[in-house]
Every structure is written in C-alpha cells, then in structure tokens.
Amino acid sequence: MAWAAKQQGGASAANGLMHLESENKILLECLTSRLGAEKKREPCELKIADFDDVLYKVFVSPDSPNEIVLHVAVRDWENLKSNGAQKALDTNFPGCTSQPEQGFNVAIKVNADSLPKGPWGSTGEACAKQLADIKTLLVGAPLAEAFSTLESGGSASSGITTIAMRKPTQDGGGNCYIVPKGDRVTVVFAVDFADETDKAVTRIFLQEFVEAQRSVNNCPPANFSRGAEPPMEIQSIPNIDGNPDIAGFISFTIFKSHIGTTPKKKEATKLLVHFLTYLQYHVKATKTYMHMRMRNKVNALLQVLNRATQTSNETKAKKTITGKTWVKK
C-alpha cells in the first residue's frame, strides 16, 4: 500500500494511510540553516534519536563554525559496511569521512564553504537533504547493490544477505533478508512487536498487502506468511525455523520493471528501508483510532443513560382504574 501510494502520486491520504518522509526533519532543519542560503555560523551540539535505533549527532566547533560534523549510529554496521554502505559513503561524500565518536559508527565532516561533489547535486540544500537521509543511504546500501546487479543482468552469486534492521523482541523478528535471483530480488521482513495486541493488528495489516496487489497495477507481488511458516526463499538459512509467536513474514518481489530507472530504484530502496517504520506508525495509529471509537461510544451510551434518569423530585398523583387518586410514598 505504501508502494501504491507513492506510485499513484500520494493517493494514501484518500485511503486513510500516510506516507512518512525518509528524511529526519529535525536533522534537515539544522543542516539546511547551516548549508543553505542562510549559512548560519554558530557552534552547535545536537543529538537526535530516530526510528530503528538510529542516532545522530551534529557538532559544530566554536573554533571552526564553517565545519559541520555529523555522527551516525546504525544497527549491524559491520555487515552494512561490507555490503555496500562504505562504497555508498565514498561515492556520495568523497573525502568527508572522519573518525566517529564513541557510540557512533560513521562521521561525515562537511565544510559549508567548500561542499563535496556527489551525485545528489551541488547546492547546500541538496547536501543537507542527502545528509538528513543518511539512514536510507547506509541501511539501503545492500538493497541498492542487489538492485544494481538485477538491473545490469549480472549473476546473483552473493547469496542471501541478512540485515538486522531493528532490535528483536523476545520472540525474534527485526531482520530483513535480501534474496537475489537471476530475474528478481525478493526482500523478506521478519516482523514482530512486543505487545500482543500490536501483533494481532500487524497480522491483519500485513494481509492487506497481499490483497492490495490485486487492485494496484505494476506493484511488486507481496506475500504474507505466519511466523511458523517462513517463506521458501529463506528456508535454507540456518536456524530460520519458524516461530509461531512472532507476527509473521512479509515478502516483496522486485522485478526489473520496478527499478528500470534511477528514480525508481531510489524510490524502491527508500520504501523498503522505511517499511518497518511505516508499519509501526500505522499499527499505533490503528490502536489510537480504535481507542477513540470506544471512548466516543462510551460517551454516547452515558448520554443515553443521563437522558433516561429522572431529574425531577416532584411526586405526582396517579389514578387507578376505578378513578381513585393515590400518591406513592
């Protein structure tokens, strides 16, 4: 459904769904004020927490107010680094990497007076937007590598790539499996939430992805399976035995037609990287909506009860069938 909303030009609002932008808004605002037309030159130290355990730190030294250092912490960095993340950094920010602080994996130093040259453009606003979307660049690097191989028609000899996208619950989940084939790339998410109600809502929500593909043209095929039945594409992974306690598995099959152009490939990578965030947002929004409906129903029933309550204490005289008058004491 997220895919369909983007392909149909924002139809998600009409369907009650919301597409979340991939850039971190706080980080984008901070960087734009220093790299954009305003060119703010003042010291700064800002720490930001994002979805999927991603952390940012923006540091501008008082001694060098034109130099901006962005520290980034992501899960499973060593795995990402060996599957294209370091290459993506060198391509987009050549010569800008530096030693990260303790607790962070990557540090990018940018001189506001001499911007690096990358595929994102040459303006300060474009540089700020790319830095604010650094999570997509790093976490999506294995996906971008697999899509490039599929687009070029190369052989899929790398096997299955596993990425720990978020902290697993006590039952598991949180991994993303990239399965390249000759004519397709299958991306499988092991989805789970700690709360049992969240799991139940998630299962219903994921099943809708299977139904949505029947009414949306040219969208990637989607399949949902229960936790006890992992998809066939990943059954060869050691210790992947199904766990009936997790919410389930959702898989998307990407063909060449879905990534035929550079914008399509970037959009596919972005949507898949932020899929779990999209899912989490709508699961929480669904629970909020249900709670609001229940509260409104309770208020409506209370109004009915209040209207049914006798408000006057005046005792009225009543007549029997024989015409006698009596007053209830």
The angle subtended at Cα 20 by Cα 12 and Cα 10, nearest 5°, is 30
Spell out, as residue ranges, where the chain has pLDDT lower than 50. 1-14
- CA-CA distance, 277 to 270, in Å (whole number)? 11
pTM metric for this prediction? 0.82
Residue 157: the pLDDT is 60
The angle subtended at Cα 160 by Cα 155 and Cα 161, nearest 5°, is 110
Residue 126, classed as helix, strand or coil, is: helix
Task: Name the β-bridge partners of 72.
Answer: 56, 106
Residue 315: the pLDDT is 65
The angle subtended at Cα 180 by Cα 177 and Cα 184, nearest 5°, is 115
Residue 14: the pLDDT is 40
Residue 219: the pLDDT is 85
Question: Which DSSP string do the residues of 254-276 spell out, in sequence order?
Answer: EEGGGGSSHHHHHHHHHHHHTHH
Residue 295: the pLDDT is 94
Task: Name the β-bridge partners of 185.
Answer: 180, 254
Residue 311: the pLDDT is 60
Buried b (16+ CB within 10 A) or exposed e, 221-234: ebbbbebeebbebb
Residue 68: the pLDDT is 94
Residue 309: the pLDDT is 64
